Structure 1
Amino acid sequence: MPKRQARGEQRMAEILDAAGRVFAASGYERATTNAIAAEAGVSPGSLYQFFANKEAIAAALAERFVAQMREAHEAALLGADPSTLDWPELIDRTVEPILAFNVANPGFKALFARPDMPAGLAAAAEPIQAALLGRVESVIAAKAPSLPAEVRTRTARVAIQIFQAMLPMVLGSPPEERPAVMAELKKVLYRYLSALSP
């Protein structure tokens, strides 16, 4: 029984990997379960044993992305107290793993890093948005503990919007230009967030 379960988990992971590639290449709206099944090398019937529809696949990808983002962010801040880091280092440690995650997961951008979220994706995106907002709020709280909660939330939302607005430019830059564009993004975030601290 455990062997069958492991095979099932492996097959689900392969389908999700394939879905990420299909979503990245075609976009959410044009992607089909048939295309995802073909990319995964399984029959559509096999895919439906694991996922009822495209929305279920997107929701499963969202869960995976939330877990991966959490791990990347925790690893970046491992052993560090955010309140003792200066803003440039804190922004580096926060932004770098999120950018690396986006580069490594093109399906994420196609699904969840977009301003025109289709209705079918809105529910799947909620855990990602909540996790990201929570992470940014915790960093802001560490650096500006006297900030009222509603201001902290608003500031985190603005910082995330700045990041998301520049993300297509960063990801679309040629590899040799990307570090310079990332530096500009960090500069904008630094100017905005450093004003919170006296």
Structure 2
Amino acid sequence: METHDRILAAAARVFAEHGYAAGTTNRIAAAAGHSIGSLYQYFPNKDAILAELVTAHAESGIAAVTRRLEGGLPESLDGKIRVFVRAAMDNHRDDPALHRVLFEEAPRPPDLLAMLHTAEEQAIEAAQALLAEAPEVRVADLAMAARLVVNSIESLVHRFYAHGETEQAERFENELVAMLHRYLTC
């Protein structure tokens, strides 16, 4: 398992530094300190490595939301929105260059797309349930509002970190929460 993990860590660095196209298995093996033959004992190609990195990233995002929810939800709508914004920011903050490669450059096999779609639908269902309980929410179509909230958070947080403006993180978070609050309560 140590070699497997070392290859994945090296692949994350290589993809972040060189991008998907130039992130070759030879580069990954060299960065991991292993032969190309060792790499192929664990992964048939770079797409398999990438799929595992994307899966781990998606699972990490789900875990981030779960951790944030363990303490319960705040009473206010702003507080509830902020929990999900912060979870998304937590998931994007660590390695924005790798995240950009994972979600903008790399191909996604069908099973990975299915897993991402399932996770998105679960987030939308949870958001809809939360919105239904909030008396200040005034949008008529809660299902669509939940979809818009989840997709807006994911898309905007991704773009924020992908463009490297991390020194503005607190300001970004506050404005995103305010924007979503206004949408939901008008």
TM bin (shorter chain): 0.7 to 0.9
Query: 1:148 — aligned with what?
Result: none
Partner amino acid for 2:79? Answer: E
Q: What CA distance in whole angstroms lies between the structure 2 residues aligned with 1:86 and 1:43? A: 54
Structure 1 segments unaligned to the other structure (5+ residues): 1-8, 146-150
Q: TM-score, normalised by structure 2?
A: 0.79
1:144 aligns with 2:96: no
Which is worse superposed, 134-143 or 55-64?
A: 134-143
| Aligned counterparts, 1:96-107, within 5 A | 96-106=86-96, 107=98
- In structure 2, the gaps of 5 or more residues are 134-140
Q: Does 1:110 align with 2:98?
A: no
Matched residue count: 178
Q: Percent identity?
A: 30
- Structure 1 residue 58 corresponds to structure 2 residue 50: yes
For residues 58 and 31 of structure 1, do their structure 2 counterparts lie closer, same or farther at Cα, with a shift above 3 Å needed?
A: same
Q: TM-score, normalised by structure 1?
A: 0.75
Indicate the residue corresponding to 1:181 in structure 2. Answer: 172
- Which residue of structure 1 lines up, in the alignment, with residue 182 of structure 2? 191
Corresponding residue to 2:37 among 23, 45, 66: 45
* Inter-partner Cα distance in structure 2 for 1:67 and 1:15: 19
Alpha-carbon contact 2:15-2:23 (below 8 Å) kept: yes
1:131 paired with 2:123, answer: no
1:33 and 2:25 aligned: yes
Contact 1:37 1:44 in 2 (8 A): yes
Q: How many angstroms apart in 2 are the aligned matches of 1:87 and 1:183? A: 13
- Take 2:149 and 2:109, find their aligned partners in 1: how far apart are those partners? 20
Q: Displacement, 1:156?
A: 3.7
